[in-house]
Amino acid sequence: MSTFVLVHGAWHGGWVWDKVATLLRQRGHVVHAPDLPGHGSDKTPVGRVTLQVYADRVCEVMDSCPEPAFLVGHSMGGVAISQAAEQRPDRVAALAYVCAFLLQDGECLVQWAEADHEALVPPNFVFSSDKASVTLKPEGIAEALYGDCRREEVEQIRPLLAAQATAPLAAPVRVTPERFGRIPRVYVECLRDRAISIAIQRAMYQAAGCERVFTLDCDHSPMFSCPNELAACLDSATQIKAPARS
């Protein structure tokens, strides 16, 4: 039995993990799926949402766990778990990135997003007048994020999406070899992702180094489109141990 902390991506909340959390609990694991500040039921104002407060929220959850947790990040959540792992390396058993942004020290999410010319998310951005938050064009959401999901499911998800603060997207990640670098990492790549193209996913995880890469033939939202397969990947990840690093 292991402890998982599942971290959602932009616009979403902890609710995205409901199916996967149930499957992991059926396998005997303890699962936490918090809302990041400004997401889900958390009402932190957009102007107070930063990468640091994301990382602090994740650290709060890990600190409440009796053992080091398997920290999982989806999409933008990858940035949050990297920063949290740097702050609490002893509280992290391993890091799992689910079609997520896996950044090097000093990089920010926007850098990779701007380089991803195949992605459908940036063309569907709708910024607030002050540029402090961004939403997505309603007509572009399904194709960009939920290509393999049923239309009925997408319609249930749509009203739950929140405005995404832009500050965390442009904030550089600060990680070191001594702290973040010593934690084992795995990546779950999604071959038909239209939010983060497979070429960008592979460029990031090849640069970062991962103990194992799992492959799912699905869209950007395997929590909805193939939860059983994703849960199996995460369960397998609990068997991975950190190699000796020089």
| 136, 204, 217 from 108: Cα distances, Å | 20, 12, 27
The domain locations on the chain are: 3-237
244 band by pLDDT with thresholds 50, 70 and 90 = very low
Strands (E), the chain: 3-7, 30-32, 69-74, 92-98, 125-127, 133-136, 164-165, 185-190, 212-216
Output the pLDDT for position 1. 86
pLDDT digit string (tens) for 34-45? 999 999 999 999
Which residues are CB-contacts of 55 (< 8 A; sequence separation ≥ 6)?
A: 80, 83, 84, 86, 87
Q: What percent of the chain has pLDDT over 90?
A: 96
245 band by pLDDT with thresholds 50, 70 and 90 = very low
Q: Is 11 left (phi over 0), alpha (psi -120 to 50) or beta?
A: left
pLDDT (average), residues 216-241 = 95
Output the pLDDT for position 241. 66
Angle (deg, nearest 10), helices 18-26 and 227-237: 50
pLDDT digit string (tens) for 135-181? 999 999 999 999 999 999 999 999 999 999 999 999 999 999 999 99
Query: Rounded CA gap, 139 and 37, in Å?
Result: 26
Residue with tokens 């063309």: 123
**φ, ψ dihedrals at 10, nearest 5°:** -60, 145
Output the pLDDT for position 239. 86
Q: What is the CATH superfamily name and number for domain 3-237? A: Alpha/Beta hydrolase fold, catalytic domain (3.40.50.1820)
